[in-house]
Structure 1
């Protein structure tokens, strides 16, 4: 992934109903896929039943067809280069959930966001999205805790209680869908796609592990068996939970706000920070003076 493309032309107008409907279609496709992915040690019976049910194939084909047809019609909406429009058509046709963030009818460099309308991709909208999504995503991620509790303490209970197993599976599906949608939106808005992926690699792993575990052709490898058993998924979910909570703390400056409730302690902490910075500054000045004093060798 590379940096966001440059934006040209006026702010796009209209398309609200079209993009809102396609957001629903793309989300529905992602949800159907999420239901059949292995997210841990529960839900195998439901997944096998749903995969074998004729409704699964009908939903996948129907939603996929809608994305492709809408993509073809969008080729005639924007004035972008034909190669760019065809690239977007190929991407959304191969991966329909990408229709949430790109479309043949969507001008280059612009995003249509529900409740926000058209926004240029870049640092400003990336920060706004992060602030809007931070708390909802933490609440969603906290669902990891009851899921882990059920998987770790349930044991045979999940096998003997289909309803509990189904509830656990559906909860992990919701978590996975939420992680995937947030990741797609944030990557689309980020000024540097690659930098965002590297910074948030844990979220990317959480999204990709169930997809890898779904590939039964790889089941001969121990790594994939570990994925299907849920051990790696649990580890990364916990790490993702901690990372999200810490990001919210930093994003909303919660630590500093708590310190400000006690003015004396807050002033003391500021004085300590100033003292540390002055010491570091003194060390840097000393190194700079030493380097300038050295004679060319």
Structure 2
């Protein structure tokens, strides 16, 4: 099932647009019938395999199993890291086997994925150089366009896989999502662009020119936001390899957070003083 979910992620990476000429290639891939059927088949296999979790009423973690079933029903690629059948605290990973979800595993994975994901993040540089210097050649060459799209698909696949595994292991999932919002943005933006492309076809069918222009403008904005998010992620990963620079960055972030916390505390104290004064004032008689 890990391989099925991984295959579905790979197909999604190829179908989703990643900006620039990649959008035209992804549109052609989405038009292929067997690609859509393969995605549907992966989703069906994952859901069917998870169905027994609905009748897991005899298990101690029946409620947790049903929650995990809903997760893989709504987001089938999460099956790479979420199993409705395994005990809630356990996870299977290739090369590691069954592992208990705890802080020890989280830090081991974080350390083990640091160098490979740094290499993946560096792949954005040839993409940007190619788009900037050889834009006309890429647009006129199907081979170059497909190569660029494949490269951006691999980048998206790696980020999506890392995020799904790490957030499933993270002790505090919401905190992990907040701290890695750039990674989440990298995963979500192509999904938004895919929905935008469907909206573009609908606008063309309805012959609403104004909507078409708005959609094209949105395409440019999404592409720029996606590239900026990838560059920011690369910068953050590079800084993480240099402790002194990363320490300075973390201290600056700590100062900002501390200032926000001091402001919140001041507001709390002001509200508490206001409430205390209201409680101490005798009620007026009408």
Q: Which band: TM-score by shorter chain?
A: 0.7 to 0.9
Conserved in 1, the CA contact under 8 Å of 2:239 and 2:246?
no
Q: Any gaps of 5 or more consecutive residues in structure 1?
A: 1-21, 257-297
Conserved in 1, the CA contact under 8 Å of 2:53 and 2:84?
yes
- RMSD between aligned alpha carbons? 2.3
Q: After superposition, where does 1:125-144 map in structure 2 within 5 Å?
A: 125-144=105-124
Residue in 1 that maps onto 2:128: 148
Q: Any gaps of 5 or more consecutive residues in structure 2?
A: 201-210, 248-286
Distance in 2, matches of 1:199 and 1:122, equals 18
Match of 1:165 among 141, 145, 164: 145
Structure 1 residue 75: Cα displacement: 5.1
Higher relative contact order (CA 8 A, sep 6+): 1
TM-superposition CA deviations, 1:233-288 (whole Å, max 9, x none)? 111111111111222334xx8999xxxxxxxxxxxxxxxxxxxxxxxxxxxxxxxx
Residue in 2 that maps onto 1:62: 41
TM-superposition CA deviations, 1:114-144 (whole Å, max 9, x none)? 2222222222111100111000111111111
Residue in 2 that maps onto 1:281: none
Distance in 2, matches of 1:132 and 1:149, equals 29
Distance in 1, matches of 2:60 and 2:127, equals 46
Structure 1 residue 213: Cα displacement: 1.1
Q: 1:246 and 2:226 equivalent?
A: no
Conserved in 1, the CA contact under 8 Å of 2:240 and 2:246?
no
Q: 1:108 and 2:88 equivalent?
A: yes
Conserved in 2, the CA contact under 8 Å of 1:88 and 1:104?
yes
Residue in 2 that maps onto 1:34: 13
Q: 1:181 and 2:161 equivalent?
A: yes
Q: After superposition, where does 1:198-237 map in structure 2 within 5 Å?
A: 198-216=178-196, 220=211, 221=214, 224-228=218-222, 230-237=223-230
User: What TM-score do the two structures reach when normalised by structure 1?
Assistant: 0.72
**Matched residue count:** 232
Equivalent residue of 2:162, what SS?
helix
Equivalent residue of 1:209, what SS?
helix
Equivalent residue of 2:91, what SS?
strand
Match of 1:197 among 144, 169, 177: 177
Which structure has greater helix proportion?
2
Equivalent residue of 1:206, what SS?
helix
Distance in 2, matches of 1:62 and 1:224, equals 32
Conserved in 2, the CA contact under 8 Å of 1:92 and 1:102?
yes
Equivalent residue of 1:102, what SS?
coil
Distance in 2, matches of 1:184 and 1:80, equals 25
Distance in 2, matches of 1:227 and 1:35, equals 21
Structure 1 residue 58: Cα displacement: 1.6
Distance in 1, matches of 2:53 and 2:94, equals 19
